[in-house]
Amino acid sequence: MRIPAELKGLGIAVAMSIILCTVAAAVVYYTGIRETVLNPLGKTIMVMSVFTGAAMVTRAYGNRGLVRGATLGLMFFVLMLITTFLTQPTQIYIMGFIYTVTACLISGALGGVLGVGMSEGR
């Protein structure tokens, strides 16, 4: 059974987020870096993960990078939103919601454009 490229890309983005967040937490814990750096670091990790996942999806297809990348960004956002609703629903606020969905869509679209450029003319 073949797994669709979208699910592979989403899996890559989620795995990358988990790994990078774990590394970032360990670095902050074992060094003198203040915890105030975690919020911007988390946002950076999210953008990098969505960008990478979107690039992998559109590289597999070789076309429609903006749409496929933005779709992956939206999928990642929905997954994060569901997880937040289940674990900490009080952490959801409108400005954070708008920022996160915008960052996911833009980084996904940009990763999608890069993925088309990396494709082998499929």
**pLDDT at residue 120 greater than cutoff 80:** no
Overall average pLDDT of the 50-67 stretch: 92
| Average pLDDT along the chain | 92
First-to-last alpha carbon distance for the chain, in angstroms, is: 21
**pLDDT at residue 41 greater than cutoff 70:** yes
Overall average pLDDT of the 4-12 stretch: 93
Q: How far apart are CA 19 and CA 112, in angstroms?
A: 22
**pLDDT at residue 121 greater than cutoff 70:** no
Q: How far apart are CA 95 and CA 4, in angstroms?
A: 33
Q: Residue with structure tokens 């920022």?
A: 99
**pLDDT of 89:** 84
**pLDDT of 122:** 55
Could you tell me the pLDDT band of residue 3, with boundaries at 50, 70 and 90?
Answer: confident
Q: What is the per-residue pLDDT across 65-111, written as a single tens digit (0 to 9) for each?
A: 899 999 999 999 999 999 999 999 888 888 988 999 999 999 999 99
Alpha helices in 31-89 (DSSP H): 38-61, 65-87
